[in-house]
């Protein structure tokens, strides 16, 4: 083998190795931590059940525990945007007086990565008037943005609005 053919062969082996490393790096990047243990759509949809169960306790603090410290709540029956725990607790103290029981009507879940997801759709709440005991059903659109923080799923953004035609 001539010196020139040895140099060409070494260059070819080096180039092949670089392509292989680049390919492995790309595979590792797409299978990295942000994609590892990605939750299922069903798991994300089930987070509503946890939230709804917290409503059933009648304890505004338990409901607020499901929200991140810097969460934003655009609530159904209030014009005030809630941007801190005190505001979220205040909203639920009033809302829980109606003994809300939620039920999803339509759900669309988008799992963004292992630590974030969106759950949007339509839900309805059966509310009981605290004075008369009369029940009414309110249908609303919703969006929950979830983020995994410290190993637990937290609501970072929650928007709920009554259906405009309802």
* Residue 55 belongs to domain with CATH number: 3.10.450.50
Query: Would the pLDDT of 52 be above 60?
Result: yes
The residue with tokens 């499901």 is 66
User: Sorting pLDDT into bands at 50, 70 and 90, what band is 164?
Assistant: confident
Specify whether 46 is located in the same domain as 103. yes
Per-residue pLDDT at 1 exceeds 60: no
How many residues in total does the chain contain?
166
> Does any domain span residue 36?
no
pLDDT of 64 over the 70 cut: yes
Question: What pTM, to 2 d.p., does this model score?
Answer: 0.78
Instruction: With beta carbons less than 8 A apart as the criterion, state whether 156 and 72 touch.
Output: yes
Q: By mean pLDDT, which of 60-64, 79-83, 88-92, 160-164 is the weakest?
A: 160-164
Per-residue model confidence (pLDDT) at position 7: 46
* CA distance between the termini of the chain: 84
90 found inside a domain: yes
State phi, psi for 14 to the nearest 5 degrees: -65, -45
Supply the Cα-derived Rg of the chain in whole angstroms.
Answer: 25
Residue 133 lies in a domain: yes
**Does residue 130 sit in the same domain as residue 82?**
yes
Q: How far apart are CA 72 and CA 165, in angstroms?
A: 25
Looking at the structure, tell me whether residues 50 and 124 fall in a common domain. Answer: yes
Residues 45 and 111 both lie in one domain: yes
Q: H-type helices in 31-163, by residue range?
A: 41-56, 60-64, 85-95
Whether residue 80 is found in the same domain as residue 144: yes
Counted domains in the chain: 2
Q: Which domain holds residue 17?
A: 1-31
Query: What region does 37 belong to: left with phi over 0, alpha with psi -120 to 50, or beta?
Result: left
- The dihedrals phi and psi of 98, each to the nearest 5 degrees, come to -90, 10
Residue 15 has pLDDT above 50, yes or no: no
Where do we find the tokens 């909203």?
91
Which pair of tokens denotes residue 39?
């939750």
Residues 156 and 77 placed together within one structural domain of the fold: yes
Calculate the average pLDDT of the chain.
85
């Amino acid at each position: 083998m001539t010196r020139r053919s040895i140099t060409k062969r070494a260059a070819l082996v080096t180039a092949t190795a670089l392509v292989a490393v680049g390919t492995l790096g790309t595979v590792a990047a797409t299978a990295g931590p942000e994609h590892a243990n990605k939750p299922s759509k069903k798991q994300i949809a089930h987070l509503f059940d946890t939230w709804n169960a917290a409503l059933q306790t009648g304890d505004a603090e338990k409901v607020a525990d499901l929200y991140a410290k810097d969460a934003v709540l655009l609530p159904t029956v209030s014009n005030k945007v809630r941007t801190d725990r005190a505001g979220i607790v205040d909203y639920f103290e009033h809302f829980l007086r109606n003994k809300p029981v939620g039920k999803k009507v339509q759900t669309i879940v988008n799992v963004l990565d292992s630590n974030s997801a969106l759950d949007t759709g339509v839900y309805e709440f059966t509310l009981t008037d605290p004075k008369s005991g009369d029940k009414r059903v309110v249908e609303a659109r919703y969006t929950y943005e979830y983020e995994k923080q410290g190993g637990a799923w937290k609501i970072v953004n929650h928007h709920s609005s009554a259906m405009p035609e309802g």
